[in-house]
Amino acid sequence: MQEVNDCFSKVKKDCFKFISSQETKKDKFKNKEKMIKSFLIPVSFWISKRVNKKKTLIIGLAGGQGSGKTTISSILTLILKKYFKLNVFKISIDDFYKTRKDRKLLSKNKHPLFMTRGVPGTHDIDLMLNFFKKIKDKNFKSLPVPIFDKAIDDRCPKSLWYKIKTKPDVVIFEGWCVGARAQSSNQLKKPINSLEKVYDQGIKWRTHVNNQLKNKYKTLFNQLDGLLYLKAKNFNLLREWRLKQERKLRLSTKNKKNLKIMSSRDVVNFMQTYQRITQQMFKDAVKSSSIIMDLNSKHQIQKIKFRK
């Protein structure tokens, strides 16, 4: 307990500063001290114990849309850097989306629903595999890593990419489908929402998504050294949180032009593309994760379970 208190006293200023940058007048974080002290500092100790200075540790962080992955991964990064003096690089699977041009091609060749970013198949897997390979290389040299701009729904130009100059001790790789597993072909047959029922009558879209999980994504996720999972109570809660997220994005970018900010209806439709895998992860990820963080209906970590 003394270690936790000591860590908290050294990181609380930076953590609180970051949290306040994420708040709006209407939307304030509750119980932030408890979140950091009872949950995120113990997770940071768990990560630090697994660090091997010769080999980069890759930790996945998964959770449904709007579950707080960016906030949680940012605070973990702060703690690991400030208290444990580790070199940490945080990246989202979202930054590896295929370009708008590539998704347009995919939507023509495979299925129109692939124009919508999100599901397995819309990421550049080769780029991710190359990133994992180079980050683990003993003779690491500087590495450019893409940045995806959701407001314009396309990848940023290369001049704006992240530049990793020194080999990280830890990479936190976060994303809604990180660690997701394929379903059986039987499970794919019955549509689970109106989007699948209307736009994927021939099961072509969800079959291709599932095949991606079965093959390339499985290879990718097998390289993780651990998986943290933010578990929401149900899909409806995630939808509410995602709507709130989009409202915040709209507020922060309201004076900019040509942005692809979604309306509430767009968000609901968008979330339907995620529903099948998200609901399957409620069952699978609790078995395959190293750490499970249960979220309550108020968007707070309620309890934590260390499994591995």
| Residue 125, domain CATH | 3.40.50.300
Tens-place pLDDT, residues 60-77: 999 998 898 999 999 999
Which stretch of DSSP H or E encloses residue 174?
A: strand 170-175
Give the max Cα distance, the chain: 59
Domain that holds residue 181: 2-306
Give the pLDDT band of residue 255 (cuts 50, 70, 90).
Answer: low
What is d(CA 2, CA 41) in angstroms, rounded to the nearest whole number?
Answer: 12
What is d(CA 190, CA 236) in angstroms, rounded to the nearest whole number?
Answer: 20
Give the pLDDT band of residue 267 (cuts 50, 70, 90).
Answer: confident
Tens-place pLDDT, residues 128-163: 999 999 998 888 989 999 999 988 899 999 999 999
For a pLDDT cut of 90, what percent of the chain falls above it? Answer: 76
pLDDT at 259: 56
pLDDT at 151: 81
The structural domain count of the chain equals: 1
pLDDT at 250: 65
Cβ-contact 154, 98 below 8 angstroms: no
Structure tokens at 225: 């050294």
Q: What is the arithmetic mean of pLDDT over 83-112?
A: 97
Q: What does DSSP say about strands 148-149 and 154-155: parallel, antiparallel, or unpaired?
A: antiparallel
Average pLDDT, the chain: 91
What is each CA distance from 177 to 37, 45, 129, 146, 180, in whole angstroms?
27, 25, 16, 19, 5
pLDDT greater than 70 at residue 231: yes
Structure tokens at 296: 């309550």
Which stretch of DSSP H or E encloses residue 230?
A: strand 226-231
pLDDT greater than 60 at residue 258: no
Q: What is the DSSP string of 47-76?
A: HHHT-BTTB-EEEEEEE-TTSSHHHHHHHH
Give the pLDDT band of residue 253 (cuts 50, 70, 90).
Answer: low
Cβ-contact 164, 142 below 8 angstroms: yes
pLDDT greater than 70 at residue 210: yes
**Partners of 61 in beta bridges:** 174, 228
Tens-place pLDDT, residues 43-62: 999 999 999 888 999 999 99
- Tell me the three state secondary structure of residue 267: helix
